[in-house]
Structures are given as C-alpha cells and as structure tokens.
Structure 1
C-alpha cells in the first residue's frame, strides 16, 4: 500500500490500481474482512478486491465481508440482505451484525463508529481475519481536512492539520486499513458502472444536520481535482512521532505508572517536538483520549519556557516544574470508583486496565494520601505524594475474601484508536510503562 502523500488529482488512484497495490503490500497469508454498507465506496472496494484476487489464485489471501446494521433506519435490515445477495454473486462469504441496545440521544455518529469497529473486530476474531478494510476515499479526506481547518478557526482544536490515517489499530487487537484513501468517489462509481454493478444510497448522506454533509455540499461547489488533499499530514506527523520517540528515550522516566519525570535538558527541545510529546503525556497521565487543545498547551509551553519553578494544571494533569526537571501526575480530583464483578475487566479512571480474577466483586478507588506505595529514592517528596495518591487501590466487596486482580497501565489516547502516524511514539511510550509493543501493521 503506498505510503507517500496524496496530493490531489496528480496522484489520485483508480480503484483497481489501489486494490492491487493493497494486495501486494499485505504480509501473506492474510484474511481480509471488508466492511461493506452497500454504498458506492464500500461496494467498489469489495468488487475491486474480489476482481484483483482472481489474478492471485494461490496467494494465500482470503476475502470476507461484513455489514454492520446500526438499526437507525427502518430500511437497514433490508439493505443488509441486499448486500448479502451481492456478496453471494461475488462468491464472498458475508456476515451481518446488528448494533443492539439503547442508542444515545447525542453523539450518535461517534457512538455508531465505536459500535461498528467493535462489532467488526468481533467478526474478525470469529473468522480469523487479520485486517479489516474500510472504504474511506479522497473525498472523505478532503472533507475531514476542511472540517478540521474550520474547527481550528472557531475553537481550541489540536491536530487540525491531520486528516484520515491510512491505517489505525483498534483496541490493540486489529488493524483497520483504508486502501481507497487516494481514490475519488466519482472514479469508484465509474468503475462500478463498467462492471454493471449498482449501489445503495444512504439518505443520511443528504442530511445537513451532520457537519460532514454540510462540508461535502460546500466542497461540491469546487472541483475536487483542484483541491490540495495531502495525506492528512501523515508524513509530517509520522516524522514528528519518531522525533518525539527519541526525545522520550533520552529524557523521560515513568515511575509506578503515575509519575512522569522529564529531565531539565529535555525542555530545550524543538517546540514542535515538545508540544507533541507533552500533550500526549498529558493525555496519558490524565486519562484522556484526546490531547489538550492548542491554547491550553500554549500556556504550558509558556510556563515551561519561563524556567521558573512552580505548578500548572491542564487536562487533569499537574505540571510540576522544579530545578532538576518537570514532573507530571494526575490531579487527585474527580476520580470515580469502579466496581467489577467476578471474572470481568474494565478500565479505571481511563488510566489502568483492571482484570478481576477472584470469586467476588471488587472495588477500585484512588489510593489516597495514606498510601504506602514505594517510589525510587531521590524523587521530589511533594511530587511523589501527589502521584501516590492517584494509584489504584483494589478492595474486595466481600470482606471475607481477598481481592485477586491484575493491574496494567492503560494509555487512553492510543489503546483504543492508534493511527499509524503515531505508532513509533506510542511504542516507545508503552515501553516506558513496561507494556508490550503495539501490534505492527499487516502491511
């Protein structure tokens, strides 16, 4: 799969070429699971992969498809049956999964995305697929970049220069790849027309209540071939990730999963590297999925640049600047307890993954000021005291039984969704916490 930047019409790919490049890039053997809704993009992706695989009869590549029925429209079940019929004509095994349960009243698109990827990962595990592919296109990339640029103007946004990644790791267990990210939707539809294949049109794609639809309609007034659609800043972001990873190796030590020590020399690093590294560290130690916004990080960088000992707080994280360096730890406020039934697991405070191995329920709460956890000698006492207070304490809900649990650090900005842009930094940070590396991409 090509890793160079997409720069608009000059490098836009035809669907059959993109499918062939993806197949060639895969480590073999491979089992591809195509996420197909029945729309033109996903139908084109499945058709192109199926067509290309005819040229590789002994390639050790299996192809399957899955449709996630979100249950948000009355027609969705019938559409899933139509997709199943299409897959049957292509000779591709097809599975349908429905998003069950109560739907949220707000944030429905984000919730649907979470549910969709979770169900796709479950299907992949059931059929031993090692990569899921989705049909994000060059049009989607242009829309995403436009939306993020608009947010940068109107709000305290971070990462507005980056778009859709060509690959993301979901839940530390499955890579999701976008082979059509350099393909235009018009070319995909022309390809399907040549094959004599039709597709379904989702009415929500015309619903202007959604930001993406409004952006799409605005961009439709321009010629997409004339739009500059880089790889979402992917090459620059990956380079920054590598520089920040080297910075981590040289300057950062993590103590007990709750206290981050950054040496004094580290603070003289290039501001771009320092902002990337410190914002990701803040997200991890604060248990946040997203890095602090630009304005909040600007205040932290200015504070560090003043070179005066003191403390600042952002994103639930204390930045404690001392003469020997900078220390980061979680604030001790707003830490909610978690109760886990016997044999279950969960994430406490978005910072620790807890598995209950015992026969009774357990309660996880902050250790508090009276905790006796040990830290390395020579660390500032005040920083240690604050960090110790936010360690997890596990208590058996039945006083007659001892608690039996496994505790591992959870890296909130990376453990659920990790872009290939950020993989190098995330791997080095995982090592700082004593965790295993992330699964490498299957490409």
Structure 2
C-alpha cells in the first residue's frame, strides 16, 4: 500500500467488506524525501482500522537509469517475500480502470507492460512463485475512487512521480488517456476466461506443442520455459509466427529456444544464454534459473548447467539423459564437485515451469486452487 488514493480506497473497501483478515504491506523506496512520512501515514491508517501493517524499505544504491521500473520491481519483490514469510498467497492491488486504459496505451507505444487482470499470478519471478494478485477495483475509474474518499473526508497522498513527464505513463495521463465503459466492463470479466492448453508437460522444464499458438499463449510458453519474467514484444512474437509459416525452424527469445521437433514444436531453455559473457544462472531461495526447485542439501553446493559437463557425468547419469532433446539435456542443472558432476537424484528436483504456465494462462482460478499441494510442489524430475 502506497498511501495513494487507489490503495487507500482499496483498504477501506476491503475493511468495510469485512469478510477476511487483512494485513497491509507498505514500502519506503527511499527516493522521495517525504516517503518516510507516507509510510507513517499508512501505519496510522492501519492502526485506526485495527489492521496490522508491515513496513518495508528498499535499501541500497538506486540506479541512475530505469529508476521507476527498478523501484516497482523492488517494491513487489519485497512485498512478495514478506507475504510468503507470513504464509500469504494472495495480495490485493489497487489498480483501477484508468490503469487498464493506460497500460493499453503504453503497449501501443511499444512498451511490454502487461494488461492488469482481476486475478493473475505475480509477474515477478521467482519471488512470485505460487503467489497471486487480486485487483478488485479494475471496473472503477480513478476519479470516482477519489471522489468517494473526498466525500468521506479520508486523506491520501499524491506521489509527484505520477506527474513526471519523464515517465511514459505520466505522459499518457497528461494526454488525457481515460477508460471507456467497455474497458471497465471487460476488466471485471478477464478472470473468467479459461484457456484450453494443449501442452505436454515433460518434468524437464520444457514444453512440446503440436503447433505454435496465438501470441498470448506463445508469450507465456516462452517466458516460463526461459525462466525469467521479461515479456516478449508483440512484434517479436509476430516475427516468429510469420517466419515459422515461411519455413524457419528455430528461434531464440527471452532466454528460450523455440524449435521444430518431432512433428511439433519444442519450447525450452536456450542453453547458450545460460553462461553467455561469463554469466551464471541465478539461484534465488530454492529456485534455480527460474525453472527448478532444488532440494535443501543443494542450497550450499555449486549448481551449474549440464552444458560443458555432460562428459563428466557418470554412465548411469548419461543414460538417464538419453531420451531428452540435446538443448533440454544441456540446460539441466547438475551438482558440480571439483572435476566431477552428478545429476540430482530422481525426484529430488522439482520442475516449476508447468504450474507457472497454468497460472499464466488463467487455469489457477482462485485461492483454494493456488494453495493446493499439487500446485505448490511442481513436477518431479526423473
């Protein structure tokens, strides 16, 4: 909660609804000199309503470029980690109908910002693994929310960054981008859409599909297989679909490889991207490379991509890999010790990409399904 009009209205409406216990998370970004006062205002409101407030701070140096995007990522990741520590899986956000219209206008300008949905998985990965966002206000305009707060005599803050023309969203607001009645109706219906998924799960963090699907589903497949959270641009997806129809059989995008395979298409991690320019796959918590949950005994060990270490594996491990496509094989994690390497024991490694895909496509529809053990554990890797 920022203390702005949208988040204050959301908290008051949830409090008046009164059907669930609430907890507020607020972040001091340390950017605006008044941010500490804004946090104290949120804490005061929470105290007045009897709602616990967890205050978080984005510490450390701030980037010179891309500050707003970095602050957004930091804010969400801090909140997701704090919520997970309290066993909270669903976070309510104050996005409204104006945000839907602004996001559409930003995409028209070439931005990769997603479309806010009533119910969706947290887009930041892997901090958002198994976490979901609920946006109850998408059918209501920003002006109407503020009119309600003003009529009730409830104060809120206006972050001056929202009017800074350096940022695309602020420029679009100044140009008068406003939601239409159609935007407000469709926003409230977006979570009712169930997507049929014709995808073969492998348990090896890759997908096999009979044909390349429409751009939205292709985007989800690519992002999940690639292990990151950067969304492809629409032009990039259109290029893949056009070039594949013309006969091209391999593409690389957002850390994923898309290639023709056994009469269909294989979408997997691009092993060449994993160690390019001296980089190494990240391990955040117990998630490695955004694709696998590793067992506790491996947290302190050295985990590397199998590429470049396949010949160091013992014969029984190489036999286990025999049926996998070369790219999938090369992108698997192995435990390295000195000059030797070993696969994880069967069942010790969990592939989290399939459940992530199900969530991205709207097939995890509510809190009960999100918290189901089958969703949280992932697929065991043989």
TM-score (norm 2): 0.75
Matched, 1:280 2:239: no
Pick one of 144, 151, 164 that aligns with 1:194: 151
Of 298, 304, 308, the residue aligned with 1:364 is 304
Matched, 1:43 2:8: yes
Aligned with residue 229 of structure 1, among 167, 171, 183: 183
CA distance in 1, matches of 2:10, 2:251: 47
Which whole-Å CA distance do the structure 2 matches of 1:138 and 1:424 have between them? 24
Q: Is the Cα contact below 8 Å between 2:286 and 2:299 reproduced in 1?
A: no
**Relative to structure 1, is the Cα distance of residues 193 and 211 closer, same or farther in structure 2, using a 3 angstrom cutoff?**
same
State the Cα distance separating 1:44 from its structure 2 match.
Answer: 1.9
Q: Mind listing any 5+ residue stretches in structure 2 that lack a counterpart?
A: 123-127, 367-372, 378-382
Residue 373 (str. 1) matches residue 318 (str. 2)? yes
- Separation (CA, whole Å) in 2 of partners of 1:166 and 1:437: 20
Report how far residue 164 of structure 1 moved. Answer: 0.8
Structure 1 counterpart of 2:245: 305
In 2, Cα distance between equivalents of 1:294 and 1:340: 27
Task: Give the Cα separation in 1 of the matches to 2:186 and 2:82.
Answer: 29
Matched-pair contact (CA < 8 Å) for 1:66–1:94? yes
Give yes or no for the alignment of 1:437 onto 2:375.
yes
Contact 1:138 1:182 in 2 (8 A): yes
Could you tell me how far apart the structure 1 residues matched to 2:365 and 2:252 are? Answer: 21
Q: Quick one: which of 311, 328, 352 aligns to 2:292?
A: 352
Task: Decide whether the 8 Å contact of 1:67 with 1:96 is kept in 2.
Answer: yes
1:76: Cα distance to partner? 0.9
Q: CA RMSD in A?
A: 4.0
How big is each residue's C-alpha offset from its partner over 1:255-278, in whole Å with a ceiling of 9 and x where there is no partner? Answer: 6335x444xxx33xxx7x454444
Structure 2 equivalent of residue 391 of structure 1: 332
**Which residues in structure 2 correspond to 1:156-195 (within 5 Å)?**
163-170=115-122, 171-195=128-152
Matches within 5 A, 1:74-113: 74-113=33-72
| Structure 1 residues without counterparts, runs of 5 or longer | 1-34, 54-58, 428-434
In the alignment, is the contact (CA less than 8 A) between 1:40 and 1:189 conserved in 2? yes
The question of whether the paired residues in 1 share the 8 Å contact of 2:225 and 2:267 is answered with yes
Q: SS of the residue aligned with 1:66? A: strand
Q: 1:102 to 1:254 in 2, by over 3 A?
A: same
Shift of 1:212: 0.9
- Rounded Cα–Cα distance in structure 1 between residues aligned with 2:52 and 2:153: 21
- What is the CA distance between 1:78 and its match in structure 2? 1.7
What is the distance in 1 between the residues matched to 2:167 and 2:72? Answer: 14
Q: CA deviation at 1:201?
A: 1.9
Matched length: 355
